[in-house]
């Protein structure tokens, strides 16, 4: 009955109530969105670096190298010589090394030349068909297969670079030999083939020694920067030699910590390449936008404080009108504690409703964000996930704000002098 009374009371003055709930909803929505985003973002980023101690790649920004080669979200820093990379891949410290060669895309999904080890690094298996063996055989990521409805045996043409609108390599068709199992990691959105396929796709007669990155985003050529597709036709059958070939990066896992410590210097001193640690770079990235997230979080808590004040003012203002109601409840047999409970409960109910709405709104926002990041970065967030610990703390904080806002009005109701109130009526 007290709950019913509190519930009816808060909706009896709907404007005050709506203001308080809107403010609470806004703050809870922002905070829960941030909690979910941060948690899932970090999880996705961290899960992808499992099994990668350093990335060997062309000089440039180490963060860019990591983003491009591990997460497939940025343009690569450039190419490295396959023969030179190979000597380092055989280094005694190295436990495993997975070469990567980027070239084309199919409808915006990257086609990556690599070895079957790349699948096992992500814990993926070939769920249908078989692994790529011959040139131009590809294994398609689970997510792509689902979205584009690709089946084993399908054929398609890749587009050059990483923009879906790039020129189409019509001379060679890729053939789907298998479909990878879903992992929830970047591999779900990649098309994998062997490295010679990438080389063959970009082979041409006019060799140029240098391979400058074009002005376009992520425009990486293997072998020369001018394509002349007319010459490709009679080249089909030619075996691709490794001589003078280039790849984009190598994912390295060490046998022990030694490599982790010594390699960055070793590589920098002896080669034109760099060895970047994904753990360090990603930490740097997190701490960079961690500041932004924190600022947003403070803002949200600020809004929550304001909503607390708004509840306080609303309760305090109506206290004058409601003192007859309170006196009457006392006359009807309500104890002081029941009045105290009533006022506290009204405030807590408001906060509870605000929390529920906020949690829902935050998840709707995450759903919207997820669909846009899915389009742009092939990265999705799960709006139905619950981070019990952090959201639990948020819940407690919200309820605490409610209690805090109601303390003074509740005590005033508790101390109400019924006789005086009724005598002055």
Partner 1 sequence: MSILQAVAETTLIMIQTKNLAFSYNGKVNFNFPDISLDSGQVLLITGGSGKGKTTLLHLLGGLLKAQSGSIRIGDINIESLSNKKLDKFRGKNIGLILQQSHFVEAFSVFENVVLSSWLATGQKAEEKAKSLLAELGLSDQIHKLTSRLSIGQQQRVSIARALVNEPQLLLADEPTSSLDDENAYKVADLLSQLSKEYGAALIIVTHDQRLKDRFSNQITLV
Binding to partner 1 (CB under 8 A) within 400-419 occurs at: 418-419
328 vs 360, beta carbon nearer partner 1: 328
Kindly tell me the sign of the dihedral angle through the C-alpha atoms of 164, 169, 175, 181: negative
160 vs 330, beta carbon nearer partner 1: 330
Kindly state whether residue 319 participates in binding partner 1, applying the rule CB under 8 A.
no
124 vs 413, beta carbon nearer partner 1: 413
Binding to partner 1 (CB under 8 A) within 331-390 occurs at: 331-336, 338
146 vs 420, beta carbon nearer partner 1: 420
Q: What is the CA radius of gyration of the chain?
A: 31
11 vs 298, beta carbon nearer partner 1: 11
Number of residues that bind partner 1 (CB under 8 A): 24
CB of 298 to partner 1, least distance (A): 37
Q: Are 273 and 58 in contact (CB under 8 A)?
A: yes
Determine the interface stretch with partner 1 among 2-10, 155-163, 231-239, 253-261 (rule: CB under 8 A). 2-10
Binding to partner 1 (CB under 8 A) within 108-137 occurs at: none
Report the alpha-carbon distance of residue 235 to residue 85 in Å, rounded: 27
386 vs 414, beta carbon nearer partner 1: 414
CB of 421 to partner 1, least distance (A): 9
Site map (CB under 8 A) of partner 1, residues 211-250, x = contact: ----------------------------------------
CB of 331 to partner 1, least distance (A): 5
66 vs 348, beta carbon nearer partner 1: 348
CB of 418 to partner 1, least distance (A): 5
81 vs 421, beta carbon nearer partner 1: 421
12 vs 289, beta carbon nearer partner 1: 12
CB of 419 to partner 1, least distance (A): 4
CB of 5 to partner 1, least distance (A): 7
Q: Which phi and psi angles does 139 have, rounded to 5°?
A: -110, 130
Classify residue 90 by burial, with Cβ atoms within 10 Å: 0-12, 13-18, 19+: exposed
Site map (CB under 8 A) of partner 1, residues 321-340, x = contact: ---xx-xxxxxxxxxx-x--
Report the alpha-carbon distance of residue 154 to residue 244 in Å, rounded: 32
- Which two three-digit tokens encode residue 270? 């002896």
97 vs 416, beta carbon nearer partner 1: 416
Report the alpha-carbon distance of residue 370 to residue 37 in Å, rounded: 10
Kindly tell me the sign of the dihedral angle through the C-alpha atoms of 37, 40, 45, 46: positive
Binding to partner 1 (CB under 8 A) within 4-43 occurs at: 5, 8-9, 11-12
Q: Are 80 and 246 in contact (CB under 8 A)?
A: yes
Which residues make up the interface to partner 1 (CB under 8 A)? 1, 5, 8-9, 11-12, 324-325, 327-336, 338, 418-419, 422-423, 425
């Amino acid at each position: 009955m007290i709950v019913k009374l509190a519930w009816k009371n808060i909706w009896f003055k709907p404007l005050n109530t709506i203001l308080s709930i809107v403010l609470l909803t806004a703050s809870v929505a922002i905070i829960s969105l941030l909690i979910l985003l941060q948690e899932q973002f970090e999880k996705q980023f961290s899960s992808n670096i499992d099994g990668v101690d350093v990335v060997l790649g062309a000089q440039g920004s180490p963060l860019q190298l990591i983003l491009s080669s591990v997460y497939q979200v940025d343009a690569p820093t450039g190419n490295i010589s396959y023969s030179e990379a190979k000597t380092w891949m055989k280094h005694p410290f190295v436990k495993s090394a997975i070469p990567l060669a980027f070239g084309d895309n199919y409808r915006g999904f990257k086609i990556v030349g690599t070895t079957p080890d790349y699948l096992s690094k992500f814990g993926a298996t070939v769920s249908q068909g078989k692994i790529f063996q011959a040139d131009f055989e590809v294994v398609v990521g689970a997510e792509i297969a689902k979205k584009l409805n690709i089946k084993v045996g399908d054929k398609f043409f890749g587009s050059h670079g990483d923009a879906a609108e790039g020129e189409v390599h019509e001379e060679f068709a890729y053939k789907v030999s298998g479909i990878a199992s879903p992992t929830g990691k970047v591999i779900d959105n990649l098309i994998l083939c062997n490295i010679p396929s990438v080389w063959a796709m970009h082979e041409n007669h006019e060799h140029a020694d240098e391979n400058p990155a074009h002005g376009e985003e992520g425009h990486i050529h293997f072998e020369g920067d001018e394509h002349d597709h007319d010459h490709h036709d009679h080249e089909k059958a030619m075996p691709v030699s490794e001589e003078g070939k280039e790849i984009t990066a190598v994912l390295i896992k060490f046998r022990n910590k030694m490599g982790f410590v010594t390699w960055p210097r070793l590589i920098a001193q002896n080669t034109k390449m760099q060895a970047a640690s994904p753990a360090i770079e990603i930490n740097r990235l997190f701490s960079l936008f961690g500041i932004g997230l924190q600022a947003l979080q403070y803002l949200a808590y600020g809004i929550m404080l304001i909503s607390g004040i708004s509840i306080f003012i609303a309760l305090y203002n109506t206290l004058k009108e409601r003192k007859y109601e309170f006196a009457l409840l006392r006359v009807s047999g309500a104890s002081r504690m029941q009045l105290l409970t009533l006022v506290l409960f009204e405030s807590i109910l408001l906060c509870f409703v605000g929390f529920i709405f906020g949690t829902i709104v935050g998840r709707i926002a995450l759903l919207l964000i997820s669909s846009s990041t899915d389009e742009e970065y092939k990265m999705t967030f799960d709006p139905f996930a619950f981070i019990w610990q952090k959201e639990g703390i948020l819940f407690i904080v919200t309820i605490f704000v409610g209690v805090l806002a109601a303390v003074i009005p509740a005590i005033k109701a508790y101390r109400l002098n019924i006789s005086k109130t009724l005598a002055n009526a």
